Amino acid sequence: MTGIAPSGPRAAALVGPYLSGKTSLMEAILLQCGAIAKKGLVKDHNTVGDSSAEAKARGMSVDLSVASATYLGEAWTFLDCPGSVEFTQDAMNALLVVDVAVVVAEPEPHKAPTVAPVLQFLDERKIPHVVFINKVDAGGDAKISETLAALQAISSRPLILREIPLKENSVITGFVDLVSEHAYGFKGHEDADLMQLPEGVLPEEHAARQEMLERLADFDDHLMEELLGDVNPPVDEISENLKRDLEQDLIVPVFFGSAEGDHGIKRLLQALRDEAPEASATAARVGVAGGTEPLAQIFKTVHAPHVGKQSLARIWRGEIADGTTLNGARLNGIMRLMGSRQEKVAKAAAGEVVSLGRLEEALTGQTVSGGSSAELPWPAPLQPFTCIAMKVTKMGDEVKLSGALHKLCEEDPSLSVEQNADTHEQLLWGQGEIHLKNALDRLKSRFGLDVKSERPQVPYKETIRKGVNQHGRYKHQSGGHGAFGDVYLDIKPLPRGSGYQFAETIVGGVVPRQYFSSVDNGVKDYLKQGPLGFPVVDIAVTLTAGSYHTVDSSDMAFKAAARVAMTEGMPLCMPVLLEPIVSVEISVPNEHTAKAQRLVTGRRAGQILGFDAKEGWKGWDVVNAFLPQSEMHDLIVELRSLTMGVGTFAWKFDHLQEMEGREADAVVKARKAALEAK
Say which CATH number the domain at 346 has: 2.40.30.10
Residues 443 and 542 in one domain: no
| Number of domains into which the chain is organized | 5
pLDDT tens digits for 456-465? 999 999 999 9
Residues 342 and 482 in one domain: no
Q: What is the CATH number of the domain that holds 411?
A: 3.30.70.870
DSSP string, 388-432: EEEEESSTT-HHHHHHHHHHHHHH-TT-EEEE-TTT--EEEEESS
Dihedral sign from CA coordinates of 105, 111, 114, 115: positive
Domain boundary among 554, 573, 592: 573
Integer Rg of the chain from CA: 32
DSSP string, 446-506: HH---EEEEPPPP--EEEESS-EEEEEEEEE-SSSS-EEEEEEEEEEE--TT--EEEEE--
The 3-class SS string of 253-296 reads: EEEECECCCCECHHHHHHHHHHHCCCHHHHHHHHCCCCCCCCEE
Which amino acid appears at position 61 of this protein? S
pLDDT tens digits for 489-547? 999 999 999 999 999 999 999 999 999 999 999 999 999 999 999 999 999 999 999 99
Residues 113 and 154 in one domain: yes
- Per-residue pLDDT at 614: 97
DSSP string, 497-560: T--EEEEE---TTSS-GGGHHHHHHHHHHHHTS-TTSS-B-SEEEEEEEEE--TTT--HHHHHH
160 found inside a domain: yes
- Per-residue pLDDT at 3: 47
Residues 650 and 668 in one domain: yes
Domain that holds residue 14: 10-283
589 found inside a domain: yes
Among 111, 3, 103, which residue's Cα sits nearest to residue 645?
Answer: 111
Q: How far apart are CA 539 and CA 671, in angstroms?
A: 21
Burial of 587 (0-12, 13-18, 19+ CB in 10 A): buried
Q: Is 656 helix (H, G, I), strand (E, B) or coil?
A: strand
Residue 58, pLDDT > 90, answer no
3 found inside a domain: no
Residues 481 and 541 in one domain: yes
379 found inside a domain: no
pLDDT band at 551 (very low <50, low <70, confident <90, very high): very high
Residues 540 and 584 in one domain: no
Residues 336 and 436 in one domain: no
pLDDT band at 227 (very low <50, low <70, confident <90, very high): very high
Express as a percent the part of the chain with pLDDT over 70. Answer: 98
Task: Say how many C-beta atoms besides its own lie within 10 A of residue 337's C-beta.
Answer: 20
Residues 212 and 343 in one domain: no
Q: What pTM, to 2 d.p., does this model score?
A: 0.93
Domain boundary among 540, 556, 573: 573
Domain boundary among 454, 477, 493: 454
pLDDT band at 593 (very low <50, low <70, confident <90, very high): very high
Q: In whole numbers, what is the pLDDT of the chain averaged over residues?
A: 95
Among 190, 241, 254, 186, which residue's Cα sits nearest to residue 213?
Answer: 241
- Per-residue pLDDT at 480: 67
- Per-residue pLDDT at 290: 83
pLDDT tens digits for 431-479? 999 999 999 999 999 999 999 999 999 999 999 999 999 999 999 877 6
